[in-house]
A and B are shown apart, each in its own frame.
Chain A
């Protein structure tokens, strides 16, 4: 009896659910007009609605076809960078940056990568730092547009920067900030990438000295560093870089001015309360202590003039790094403050450089400032200062508009139709709103108005639109970088992936649908940038055989075909090896225990994708040798015995045969033999 009742209930439930499913659709179910019966049958079998099918058609990229855009996303705690294709949302590559990564042979013996990682400095115990917290990638720019040559990214955890060369998508340089504890406001590029901006986050005593937290207001400082990029060398030049000392507020995100505002930099701040925490002592915790003021302070920095001041040597060396002191910055008129609503987040400059948008985070508005008005207010002057003497401009004099969007506005990007897009963390939504000024005529919506909101899943942090922070955004796609996935993917235990969602923003007005979800499996990405695919032209293979990717030139000492050899000089052994499908030359390397071995391998292949890997497992060595590349690694033959080395990247039908033996003769028998 009970069973029968349950079955009836179940049948009713099915009926109700199916009726509801049909309610939003035409009476023929998921029929797509003009589609063949087959497609409709597939859609019905998979439970797809016409909207689902439209979304699939917008994103599906057939086998072998390339995407329209590259998306470069920070990898969060993975310390790396993701490369993703749009609109397919296929992950194409992960670029090793701050974290050793075996597939690319990054930090597993290969000398060039070991040197790059070593530039990143050491942990407190003297060991190399082996991870990073990558936040904000910045593509190099020419005239305010992405030029596709270099990518920069910061490590918030240890205040470091990385330079990635987009000819081979490999990290070429790490720079450790000698005067900053952590960074969040980096990396941001000036319109011609002369400067890479790195805003420090948590204030600290100058020069990593010790000072009691009781001395916070006197001994702790904030810092923003301007790294000079030498494009010809493809490297940041620390010798030509400088920093500006700031009050111990927590400087947060920055953006560079462009066009009319070129030469200026805008950074927001939190904790102008200078809270010092201590919840365990009965003090307000940071989260409330740093949220007391109705207004925090946007920092407006005259970078052009600051660079002149630094070049003139009007700086103080801290840890051998030139710093413009706060007093100098004030005296030279390099620094102004503007009130900004309570604990804001992103600060983003519009494509014409005229407006600066601050997202409220704890305030439901975005606040828009006019660069013209800021310049006029600086011209007029002000008597209002903060306690450190930094001039504070009048809010009403420089504010252009405030637009109420919803709860938790964080980051803003732009399109080519006069719209701005702001992520709403608490609302879990993307807001589209209309800009004023010269953007007003680009759409039918009144200026400074919320147009529509699209829910996203869930807790959106950054968002990014196609070339949306350049002088000429594309207005095609938007990616919502969501912090929580909750129920979007199959369960994988308590640690969930992040969720990137692709939105179609090509139509004006209220139509802004989510098209696709991409789970991100090994880190919590923050910011990303989207660049048109044809702006990047990477090498197919390294230009010449014997190439050193760390100098981007042929290494004349690289192992050459026909000149493979093993050279012994006392206890120093040099191995010159070549790799080609399907053998290493030499295939026997006979050395003695206690030898110091320097091993060079050149991949003499010229075919696209003919990469060879190489490992001596017991010595924890693994390198990737791409066509044309020459690598070097060194080790001490501390363990005697017989070891195999082999190709780790399946290269050919005879890949398994691509191996060799390293024979390490025990030192006692070696000495016996020589006796």
Chain B
């Protein structure tokens, strides 16, 4: 049993190494640590933004989506959306937004845990964090599609604006509005975290695999 646990935890870095030898064991820790910090920090930055441009809104209208909230001209966009029968944005992804802070915190803890697991199991711990930005995008797409395709057929403009799926990235048109959707810094931080996790795991494996193979 303890053998089994040891196998999961993996080997420890040998003691008494020269500085240059120790570096290879520190590098994955640093990469995973930075990834965890990035992920944590990303919660405070917007992940996604949509700007709506129309003649009568010289400054445009915009909505910024964070992992747990929406900011910007939500009220005005909701007001306009009622003409085409779209539900208020606040009704979208309510569950996701409610649990997102805890979920991201768990992802961060799992990544931090992977620092101490020097076996292929570390990858398993990191998988949720690696999938996180893709889950976010997928969920956004699901809700955009759900909202866009389920317009109230009795809305004032339902005859002129048919159900549609707004593009999750890039530009589209709804009525007189040009919509421009972009990924924001929070999402890019999450992507960077993914890259750092993958690199960290790669260097971790490279550092510890020889120890496993040498039978320590």
Q: Tell whether, in the assembled complex, residue A607 and residue B79 are in contact, meaning their CB atoms are under 8 Å apart.
A: yes
In the complex, whether B75 has a CB less than 8 A from a CB of chain A is yes
In the complex, whether B153 has a CB less than 8 A from a CB of chain A is no
Residues of chain A with a CB closer than 8 A to B83's CB: 582, 653-654
Residue of B nearest to A654 (CB): B156
Q: How far is the CA of A607 from the CA of B56 in the complex (A)?
A: 11
Q: Tell whether, in the assembled complex, residue B156 and residue A606 are in contact, meaning their CB atoms are under 8 Å apart.
A: no
Q: Tell whether, in the assembled complex, residue B156 and residue A580 are in contact, meaning their CB atoms are under 8 Å apart.
A: no
Q: Tell whether, in the assembled complex, residue A605 and residue B156 are in contact, meaning their CB atoms are under 8 Å apart.
A: no
Residues of chain A with a CB closer than 8 A to B79's CB: 580-581, 605, 607
In the complex, whether B19 has a CB less than 8 A from a CB of chain A is no
Q: Tell whether, in the assembled complex, residue B156 and residue A607 are in contact, meaning their CB atoms are under 8 Å apart.
A: no
Residues of chain B with a CB closer than 8 A to A606's CB: 75-76
Q: How far is the CA of A580 from the CA of B75 in the complex (A)?
A: 11
Q: Mark B70-87, 1 if CB is under 8 A from A, else 0.
A: 000001100100010000
Residues of chain B with a CB closer than 8 A to A605's CB: 79
CB distance from A610 to the nearest CB of B (A): 8
Q: Which of B75, B76, B156 contacts A582 (CB 8 A)?
A: B156
Residues of chain A with a CB closer than 8 A to B75's CB: 606
Residues of chain B with a CB closer than 8 A to A607's CB: 76, 79
Q: How far is the CA of A269 from the CA of B154 in the complex (A)?
A: 72
* Most chain A Cβ neighbours within 10 Å, of B76, B79, B83: B79
Residues of chain B with a CB closer than 8 A to A580's CB: 79
Interface positions of B from 24 to 78, Cβ below 8 Å from A: 75-76
Residue of B nearest to A609 (CB): B56
Residues of chain A with a CB closer than 8 A to B156's CB: 582, 654, 657
CB distance from A580 to the nearest CB of B (A): 6
Chain B interface residue count, Cβ-Cβ cutoff 8 angstroms: 5
Q: How far is the CA of A177 from the CA of B76 in the complex (A)?
A: 46
CB distance from B60 to the nearest CB of A (A): 12
Q: How far is the CA of A582 from the CA of B79 in the complex (A)?
A: 9
Binding site secondary structure of chain A? loop
Q: How far is the CA of A580 from the CA of B83 in the complex (A)?
A: 12
Q: How far is the CA of A580 from the CA of B81 in the complex (A)?
A: 13
Residues of chain A with a CB closer than 8 A to B76's CB: 606-607
CB distance from A656 to the nearest CB of B (A): 12
Residues of chain B with a CB closer than 8 A to A581's CB: 79
Q: How far is the CA of A653 from the CA of B83 in the complex (A)?
A: 10
Binding site secondary structure of chain B? helix
What size tier do the contact residues of chain A reach?
under 10
Interface positions of A from 564 to 610, Cβ below 8 Å from B: 580-582, 605-607
Q: How far is the CA of A654 from the CA of B155 in the complex (A)?
A: 12
CB distance from B12 to the nearest CB of A (A): 59
Residues of chain B with a CB closer than 8 A to A654's CB: 83, 156
Q: How far is the CA of A187 from the CA of B76 in the complex (A)?
A: 42
CB distance from B71 to the nearest CB of A (A): 14
Q: How far is the CA of A605 from the CA of B79 in the complex (A)?
A: 8
Q: How far is the CA of A581 from the CA of B83 in the complex (A)?
A: 9
Q: How far is the CA of A606 from the CA of B76 in the complex (A)?
A: 7
Residues of chain B with a CB closer than 8 A to A653's CB: 83
Q: How far is the CA of A607 from the CA of B72 in the complex (A)?
A: 12
Residues of chain B with a CB closer than 8 A to A657's CB: 156
Residue of B nearest to A657 (CB): B156
Q: How far is the CA of A221 from the CA of B99 in the complex (A)?
A: 79
CB distance from A499 to the nearest CB of B (A): 34
Residue of A nearest to B75 (CB): A606
CB distance from B81 to the nearest CB of A (A): 12
CB distance from B152 to the nearest CB of A (A): 14
Q: How far is the CA of A580 from the CA of B79 in the complex (A)?
A: 8
Residue of A nearest to B83 (CB): A654
Q: Mark B170-211, 1 if CB is under 8 A from A, else 0.
A: 000000000000000000000000000000000000000000
Q: How far is the CA of A318 from the CA of B156 in the complex (A)?
A: 64
Interface positions of B from 73 to 123, Cβ below 8 Å from A: 75-76, 79, 83
Interface positions of A from 606 to 624, Cβ below 8 Å from B: 606-607
CB distance from B4 to the nearest CB of A (A): 59
Q: How far is the CA of A605 from the CA of B75 in the complex (A)?
A: 8
CB distance from A31 to the nearest CB of B (A): 38
Q: How far is the CA of A112 from the CA of B76 in the complex (A)?
A: 28
Q: How far is the CA of A653 from the CA of B76 in the complex (A)?
A: 15
Q: Mark B155-169, 1 if CB is under 8 A from A, else 0.
A: 010000000000000
CB distance from A309 to the nearest CB of B (A): 55
Q: How far is the CA of A606 from the CA of B79 in the complex (A)?
A: 10
Q: How far is the CA of A317 from the CA of B186 in the complex (A)?
A: 71
Residue of A nearest to B58 (CB): A64
Q: Mark A197-230, 1 if CB is under 8 A from B, else 0.
A: 0000000000000000000000000000000000
Q: How far is the CA of A581 from the CA of B81 in the complex (A)?
A: 11
Q: How far is the CA of A606 from the CA of B78 in the complex (A)?
A: 11
Q: How far is the CA of A7 from the CA of B156 in the complex (A)?
A: 67
Q: How far is the CA of A470 from the CA of B53 in the complex (A)?
A: 44
* Most chain B Cβ neighbours within 10 Å, of A580, A606, A607, A653: A607
Q: How far is the CA of A654 from the CA of B156 in the complex (A)?
A: 8
Q: Mark A636-675, 1 if CB is under 8 A from B, else 0.
A: 0000000000000000011001000000000000000000
Q: How far is the CA of A606 from the CA of B75 in the complex (A)?
A: 8
Interface positions of A from 242 to 257, Cβ below 8 Å from B: none
CB distance from A600 to the nearest CB of B (A): 21
Q: How far is the CA of A654 from the CA of B83 in the complex (A)?
A: 9
Q: How far is the CA of A580 from the CA of B76 in the complex (A)?
A: 10
Q: How far is the CA of A653 from the CA of B161 in the complex (A)?
A: 14
Q: Mark B4-21, 1 if CB is under 8 A from A, else 0.
A: 000000000000000000
Q: How far is the CA of A450 from the CA of B79 in the complex (A)?
A: 63
Q: How far is the CA of A607 from the CA of B77 in the complex (A)?
A: 10
Q: How far is the CA of A581 from the CA of B75 in the complex (A)?
A: 12
CB distance from A551 to the nearest CB of B (A): 24
Residue of A nearest to B156 (CB): A654
Residues of chain B with a CB closer than 8 A to A582's CB: 83, 156
Residue of B nearest to A581 (CB): B79
Q: How far is the CA of A653 from the CA of B84 in the complex (A)?
A: 12
Q: How far is the CA of A398 from the CA of B83 in the complex (A)?
A: 74
Interface positions of A from 148 to 194, Cβ below 8 Å from B: none
Q: How far is the CA of A100 from the CA of B44 in the complex (A)?
A: 52
Q: How far is the CA of A400 from the CA of B76 in the complex (A)?
A: 64
CB distance from A262 to the nearest CB of B (A): 44
Interface positions of A from 400 to 441, Cβ below 8 Å from B: none
Q: How far is the CA of A103 from the CA of B163 in the complex (A)?
A: 39
CB distance from B51 to the nearest CB of A (A): 16
Q: How far is the CA of A657 from the CA of B83 in the complex (A)?
A: 12
CB distance from A546 to the nearest CB of B (A): 14
CB distance from B52 to the nearest CB of A (A): 12
Q: How far is the CA of A581 from the CA of B84 in the complex (A)?
A: 13
CB distance from A608 to the nearest CB of B (A): 9
Closest 9 CB pairs between A and B? A607-B76, A606-B75, A654-B156, A581-B79, A580-B79, A606-B76, A605-B79, A654-B83, A607-B79
Given A582-B156, A605-B79, A607-B79, 10 extra CB contacts under 8 A: A580-B79, A581-B79, A582-B83, A606-B75, A606-B76, A607-B76, A653-B83, A654-B83, A654-B156, A657-B156
Which residues of A come within 8 Å of B, CB atoms?
580-582, 605-607, 653-654, 657
Q: List 13 A-B contacts (CB under 8 A).
A: A580-B79, A581-B79, A582-B83, A582-B156, A605-B79, A606-B75, A606-B76, A607-B76, A607-B79, A653-B83, A654-B83, A654-B156, A657-B156
